Structure 1
Amino acid sequence: MAAPKKDASKKDDKLADYRRKRDAAKTPEPVPPDQALPKGDDDTFVIQEHHARSLHWDLRLERDGVLVSWAVPKGIPPDPKVNHLAVHTEDHPLEYAAFEGDIPQGEYGGGTMHIWDRGTYETEKWSDREVMIVMHGSRVSGKYVLFKTRGKNWMIHRMDPPADPGFEPLPGKLQAMRPAQNKRLPRDQDAYGFEFAWGGRRLLAYIEGGRTRWTDGRARAVDGPAGIGPKLGESMGARPVLLDGELAQVEGRETYLIFDLLHLDGHPLLDEPYEERRRRLDELKANGPRWQTTPWFPGDGEAVRDAAHAQGLDYLAKRLDSPYEPGAESDAWRLISRRR
């Protein structure tokens, strides 16, 4: 008896792995039936921000009727000086280029997904070990190469200069600016902003690709407060951010209290006046279950003094026009003790 013939369509089914991992009855993701693949122009890309067990970005490139896919834990690198890991995953159906929604917890890839960028691309090289493309999106444009390193691990590298000519990466470490001790309010209160001093542990938070690393006020690497770093990083998405603040007890919970913004979206803010940095920090809306942007009060020193004394706190006066001076003890910032 002749051996049964193999079903070539099954053998060549590029979406078999994708279908095997998903139950169409349980997930809102598109799960096309086992049939011939549609054919496009091999020029569509999509980048999806995926809040799964850990935040990452999925880069998908249309190729031969499917979306060839990589999970990029830190997002698409904006600077050619830095390569990011890209983990090759299963091919996805073309319909996935329009997918946004909540994948149920317990299902493969459970979590929220939304489209971070999409557009067209041109292929300059495509092999089993190297993919070179030029992307044209609203957030990502330029020439990139993906190259295989080991197993499913690839790296993604930007070949063009940064799209923003003024882009600067986050500093590796930065010493905190310190206030000078003082006993009374400044006379020219209109020139100052006033804050409460919470008496916590000074921490700088360096956030990039949804991940957070911490240094203390002397720029020494430290372990972050348990349960805060990952969620704080995730809340910033792909934005590179450097925050200054302190870890203190607020209503019985350890909370990261943020009072300055030193770097945002590839631009250092150290030379910007305190008033502008605080305005930008307020716009960032950095508030969550265990992190908060602290209030500040321009020109309202007496009210802050009285409220601080009522709560048993010290308070600070910061010149509105003062830059951030890393590592310096500066009279532009004054720590005023409640002990008169």
Structure 2
Amino acid sequence: MVARKKNTARDGDADRLAEYRSKRDPHRTPEPVPGDGPVPQGDDDTFVVQEHHARSLHWDLRLERGGVLVSWAVPKGIPADPDTNHLAVHTEDHPLEYATFHGEIPRGEYGAGTMTIWDRGTYETEKWSDREVKVVLHGTRVSGRYVLFRTRGENWMIHRMDPPADPDAEALPESLRPMRAADRARLPRDQDAYGFEFAWGGRRLLAYVEGGRTRFTDGQGRAVGGPAGLGGPLGRAVGARPVLLDGELASLDGRETYLIFDVLHLDGRPLLDEPYERRRRALDDLGLNGPRWQTAPWFPGDGDAVLAAAREQGLPGVLAKRLDAPYEPGEQNDAWRRIPAR
């Protein structure tokens, strides 16, 4: 059993949920808050991972042990590769009923924000001490042998002991120079072979999102700081999925907005060689629309209407992108064409 100064293992009449109850008002939060008394006894084989959109996005790993859920907050999620260890902060024990909890914890309450169940299943214990916990998880999204080991105070690390969950997965690139459009005076004649987008006249920005965190590079592939209020919320919206987005920061209805028009890497798979049409449909499926970011619209085969709309809205022009074109980092060619509105 994990020993903690504030919430020790049950010895005699020790109440393992006292700290949990002290942080929650049962009249204000929808979370389960059991009354005083003996804790229920299970089979010590249930685990749950909850995605917690609190002040900062994190994932809560909870393992049933001795009638409670022993819990760790994992800021970057459960690692899928043994080469990467993630911080896991040991928190107070939770009641067994929490394994099925999902919902909105009200503002002003401890842990305020949205809680969803990211994965759950059963586990086997290989070792359990106050400094090291080895388990085998059997879930839908996460399975395999993991060890949690204490480093300092309540800080632990979580390490995957098995080979990578997806041996073919590739990490996001450190940086990428974006593909550029060639300037042309007229729309292409074979419009059915192209998808058309608005040219927004903004600043090019690539967003690398992983573990709910976001970093940015500019039009030259150089690391830059993201606009205030964009990186964190965008990372929380994407969640655990690693993704590389291409877009531009432009003024939309008087508000600086990140307009996303391409996805270059998703779930461990580079998409550079995929045709533009397939990448755009993958981007649409992500549903990335928020207060400071939007998936930019695109219109297959309808360049004249898009150009007319750009003129009406006072936009600089349109982009024509071949539906079958791959993404060529740093290149400029006729696969992408920029046509001025006037």
- TM-score interval (norm. to shorter): over 0.9
**Paired residue for 1:262?**
264
Provide the C-alpha distance between the structure 2 equivalents of 1:140 and 1:104, rounded to a whole number of angstroms.
29
Identity of aligned residues (%): 75
**Paired residue for 2:128?**
126
Note if 1:280 corresponds to 2:282.
yes
Give secondary structure in 2 for the equivalent of 1:86: strand
Of 67, 83, 98, which aligns to 1:81?
Answer: 83
Structure 1 position 262, deviation (Å): 0.7
**Paired residue for 2:46?**
44
Provide the C-alpha distance between the structure 2 equivalents of 1:159 and 1:76, rounded to a whole number of angstroms.
12
- RMSD of equivalent CA atoms: 1.6
Structure 1 position 8, deviation (Å): 6.4
**Paired residue for 1:310?**
312
C-alpha distance 16-9 of structure 1, shift in aligned 2 (>3 A) = farther
Give secondary structure in 2 for the equivalent of 1:107: coil
**Paired residue for 2:300?**
298
Structure 1 position 268, deviation (Å): 1.1
**Paired residue for 2:22?**
20
Structure 1 position 106, deviation (Å): 1.2
Give secondary structure in 1 for the equivalent of 2:249: strand
Note if 1:188 corresponds to 2:190.
yes
Structure 1 gaps of 5+ residues are 1-6
TM-score by length of 2: 0.93
Of 142, 149, 152, which aligns to 1:150?
Answer: 152
Summarize deviations over 1:29-72 as a string: whole Å, max 9, x none: 22222222222111100111111111111100011111110001
Summarize deviations over 1:228-286 as a string: whole Å, max 9, x none: 22111111121111110000001101011000011111211111000100011111111
Summarize deviations over 1:275-329 as a string: whole Å, max 9, x none: 1000111111111122111111111122222222333321111111111111112
**What letter is aligned with 2:171?**
P
Provide the C-alpha distance between the structure 1 equivalents of 2:11 and 2:252, rounded to a whole number of angstroms.
64
**Paired residue for 1:90?**
92
Of 249, 252, 275, which aligns to 1:250?
Answer: 252
Of 316, 319, 326, which aligns to 2:329?
Answer: 326
Provide the C-alpha distance between the structure 1 equivalents of 2:125 and 2:78, rounded to a whole number of angstroms.
17
**What letter is aligned with 2:160?**
R
Of 166, 178, 181, which aligns to 1:179?
Answer: 181
C-alpha distance 91-275 of structure 1, shift in aligned 2 (>3 A) = same
Give the number of aligned pairs: 332
Give secondary structure in 1 for the equivalent of 2:310: helix
Provide the C-alpha distance between the structure 2 equivalents of 1:266 and 1:173, rounded to a whole number of angstroms.
15
Of 331, 334, 340, which aligns to 1:337?
Answer: 340
Provide the C-alpha distance between the structure 2 equivalents of 1:167 and 1:316, rounded to a whole number of angstroms.
32
**Paired residue for 1:3?**
none
1:214-253 mapped onto 2 (5 Å cutoff): 214-253=216-255
Provide the C-alpha distance between the structure 2 equivalents of 1:72 and 1:129, rounded to a whole number of angstroms.
17
**What letter is aligned with 2:282?**
R
Provide the C-alpha distance between the structure 2 equivalents of 1:18 and 1:265, rounded to a whole number of angstroms.
35
Instruction: Identify the range of structure 1 (156-165 vs 241-250) with the bigger mean alpha-carbon deviation.
Output: 156-165
Instruction: Identify the range of structure 1 (73-82 vs 244-253) with the bigger mean alpha-carbon deviation.
Output: 73-82
